[in-house]
Each structure stands twice: as C-alpha cells, then as structure tokens.
Chain A
Amino acid sequence: MRNRRSGARMGEDGRGSGTVMSLLLVPAGLLLAAGFGVHSKTIETTGTPRITLTNLAGQVVVRGWDKPQVHVEYTVHSPRVEVDTELMPPSGAADKVRFTTHVLDPLVSASEQGADYTLDIPAGSSVEIRNPQGSVQIEKVQAYAAVESVGGRIVVNDFSGHLIARTVGGDIEILRPSGRVEAYSITGNLHFVSAATSKLRASSTSGRILYEGDFAEGGDYILSAYSGDMDIVCPRSSSFELRAKTVRGKLDNSLFLTPKRKASSPAYSGNSLLGTHNTGRASVELTSFSGTIRVRPQ
C-alpha cells in the first residue's frame, strides 16, 4: 500500500523488501493459495469522513461502525496490482480517505486487475465507490453513498441518508433503506425490500423491478421500467396513492383502489391506473413502456 500521507510505502502492504524476498523464495503455488496475502490498516478519522474507493474488479464490502476509524483489509488479485491510500489532512484525524487500485503492468489480464476490499468505516461517512467489474456491498452507512459499477452487483443493507446506485448490467438490491434512494440500471434487475424512504427513484431499461414491503408515510416512490416487468408486493394495510401507466405493456392490480378518475386519461394514450389504496399516505408512480406492471398483496 502506498500511503500518500507519508509518501512511503507501508510495510504491511506486502510490497516492501520482505515481500520481494518472499516472492523469490515462496513457491508460486503457495503464494497464489494465500491470495497474495491480506493487507490491513487502521486509519484514525473524523466521525464523518469522506471516503473514496476506486477499484477495477473484485469484491468491495463496506460496513458502518461507531468508531472514528477506517479499518481496511484488502487482497490484490495479482502482484502486478497495488493499492494506494491517500489521506487528508496529512496529520491528525483524516477527513478524507481515498483508496485506489492501480495496475502496474498494462499487460495484466482482466481477471487480475482488481482487489477485494473490506472496509469498516464510521457510520456517518460519505462514501463514493467505483468498481466497474466487481460487486459492492454496503451495510449500515448513515450519510451519503454513491456507488457505480458496470457489470457488478450492488447490495445495500440498512442504509439511511442519500444513496445513489448505478450499474449498466449489474443487479441492484437495496434492503431496508431510509432517506433518499436512487437506483438506475440498463439491463440489471432492481430489488427493493421495505424501503422506508422519503424519496425512491428507480429505473431499469430491460431489467426487472421488484419492490417488496410497505411504503413510508409521506414517501414519494417513482419506479420506471422500459421492457422489463415490474412487481409491487405490499401489505394489504399499506396506504398509498397509485399512478401506474404503460405504453404497450399490461397493468395487473390485485389491490382495492378507490378510483380517482376514469382509467384512461385523454392526455395519455396507453393504459393507466389511478387510485388510492387505504388513505393514500404515500405516493407511488409506476411506469413501463412494454413490460407488465403487477401490484399485489403480500
């Protein structure tokens, strides 16, 4: 690990002279079996640091905890890959921490271009993660998280604050979030469970969208699919105002709705459904171009 605070390579990174000797002496098979070793480091931070992680492939797991520290463990996929750490300010509790995976040899194969990370971070951290061909899992972070992947899966559990998750082809799964959530994918599936969010924005072009659970009082939910199906599975006791529209798809509702107006609006040429379930405490807007929208009880 190259530490930007000191400008010196850290001893625990496995890239010092001891590691060079090990590379020379330890049989390659044994080294590969050990995954080039797990490297770890604990960094003193403020209670609300900004943490950025840029990886290429591999697994990234981020967990919130109640200590003003960042503890990182990582394993590089190849000796021709290294991890840099930058800290700001240069001394004292860091307010900004950046981890970057670098490929030292451009000829390294795609499967070797990444690292697996596990981070424990202050729950109040703001986090930005880019892991194009790897998965990202976030648990119990309470402030802000922006996560991007190309083909990797994103899983977020028990998040509160403002979450933005984007993929091109990876699935996104968000369980028990609160606050504001945005999730976008092109071909990936989106799955939400018990989203007690003030705002939820979600769209997938050809992936499926599955929402399971109740809606928060006053919550504003907008979900959009293009060709993929959308399933809303909620308790009969849930309370929301529903606006569902599709251009060429189908609407399939199994919940009792008090109609707000006639089903087909003059301003809209597809199928639409507008009504209130129970007292309409949340706002739910569902749109699809050619997929099927299903609303049914749990």
Chain B
Amino acid sequence: MAEGDFRQNPGCAQFDRELMDYLEGEARPFVSTHARECAFCSVLLADLEQVRFSVRQLPLQEPSPVVWANLHARLEQEGVFRPSVRGWGWWESLRALARPAPLGALSSLALLGVMFIATPSALQLPETAASASSAPQAAVVASASFPEDRELARMTQDLEDTFRANEGLLAPDTRATYEKGLTSLDDSIRECKDSLRQKPDNTLAQDYLLTAYTRKAEILTSALEFQGR
C-alpha cells in the first residue's frame, strides 16, 4: 500500500486510532489482525515494538558524578540543601516509568520527589493542626506537614481512589495481595512521618518516605493495569 493511501483506508485509520492503546498493553486485537493484512502497518507496528523493546532494555544511567557535584554545590550555595542526599532508591524506582502506566501521576511524583529531596527545610513549615507542646520549636518540628508531602499524599490518594472504585474487578487472591502490600506501605509512610516529625533532618527516613510513596504509586499503577485487562 502506498503511504499516501494510509489515512484514507478505513482499516489503516482504525489501526492508527488503536495503535497507542495496543502498545500500552490494552487488548486491541484489530491492531495485530490488521498488521497481518497490511504491509505498511505491519512495518510500522514492528518498528514501534522494536523501539519500545529497545527502550526497555536501555540501562538505567545515573547522572555523572560531575552533574551531581554541581547540583549539590548549587543547592548548598542557595541554602536549600543541608544534609547529604542519597537518591538510589528514587533512581531505581524511576525504572517503573518504562512500563505502560499512568505516566502523568508517576512523573509528578518524580518531580515532587526531587523537590522533597532538595528542600528538607520545608519539613519545618508550621501546620495549623500542630499538636500543643511546651516547646514552640518542638511543636513546629513535630507538625512536619509540608506542601510536598501533602501533594505526594494527594497523588497517591487519587490513584488509590481509582483502585478502590474498581477493586471488585480483581480476583480475591490478587486483591488480598495488593491490600497487604498497600497496608505495609501505609504503615511505613506513617512511621516515616512520625520519625521525621521528631528528626526532620534524618535523610534516611526521608529516603524511606519517598520510596514508600513511590512504591505505593507503582503497585497502584500495576493494580490499575491489571484491573483494565
């Protein structure tokens, strides 16, 4: 088929409409059926799947030490970055972005995660619901509610709301496994927050909190993909 005919052929047009959903893992049997019948679309599909597969195989490259050093120095210079930052858990979790997923939510988590890591001072913002304390400074620290935390919580809550609305689609065993995982992650989020209220500069607790949010977003995304099948 000449390339110029591509958009005018109804089959090719439907192929075009369904292609992205198919590549994201949705059941679109027409795409593979049509690709067997149309040489042009067959080549297109093969190329895209080759690209997708190759992307998945790309090694996860961390920024060079020079980049990190410059970033570190700059943040320290601007006074927004106090303790040493370790982001291994975060970089590992970014691999999840290679999977078909609600990329917007995970991308936003990534951005917020960077903000969270880079601005530990935000941990000390006061909160209206701060518990009463004899030491004012302790009360501020103990509140430990900060914009990034609320945004992370809101995003994962959005994913969880969607999951809850459709959890009946999952088999009981599968749902129980997800529930257990979510409970474990919720426990860790709560404990990390408690720890950070007491010691906001604890970078390891910060890492764990961020990792817990990220893992929660990942498994909710996984569950939503599973529900969609």
Chain A residues in contact with chain B, CB under 8 A? 4, 7, 50, 86, 88-90, 96, 110, 113, 126, 128, 132-133, 144, 146, 148, 150-151, 162, 164, 168-170, 180, 182, 184, 186-187, 201, 203, 205-206, 222, 224, 226-227, 245-248, 267-270, 287, 289-290
Contacts and interface: CB of A to CB of B under 8 A. Distances in A.
A246 B57 CA distance: 33
B82 to A, nearest CB: 9
Chain B: interface residue count, which band?
35 or more
Contact of A146 (B56, B83, B207): B56
Given A164-B95, A169-B177, A267-B84, A226 B204 contact: no
A150 B205 contact: no
Interface string B14-47: 0000000000000000001100100000100010
B171 A110 contact: yes
Interface string B178-213: 101100110110011001000101111101100110
B89 interface: yes
Contacts of A126: 53, 57
Contact of A110 (B42, B173, B187, B192): B173
Contact of A268 (B95, B181, B202, B215): B202
Nearest to A290: B191
B104 interface: no
Nearest to B32: A4
B177 A182 contact: no
* Chain B interface, >50% SS class: helix
Contacts of B95: 164, 182
A186 B83 CA distance: 28
B191 A151 contact: no
Contacts of A247: 195, 202, 204-205, 208
A4 B36 contact: yes
A205 B185 contact: yes
Given A4-B32, A50-B53, A168-B219, A289 B46 contact: no
Q: What are the nearest 6 A-B pairs in CB distance?
A: A110-B171, A186-B181, A151-B177, A169-B177, A168-B181, A206-B184
B36 A7 contact: yes
B172 interface: yes
Nearest to A222: B88
Chain B CB count within 10 A is highest, among A186, A201, A247, A289, for A186
B204 A187 contact: no
A203 to B, nearest CB: 7
A224 B89 contact: yes
B222 A268 contact: no
A168 B187 CA distance: 15
A186 B219 contact: yes
Nearest to A143: B57
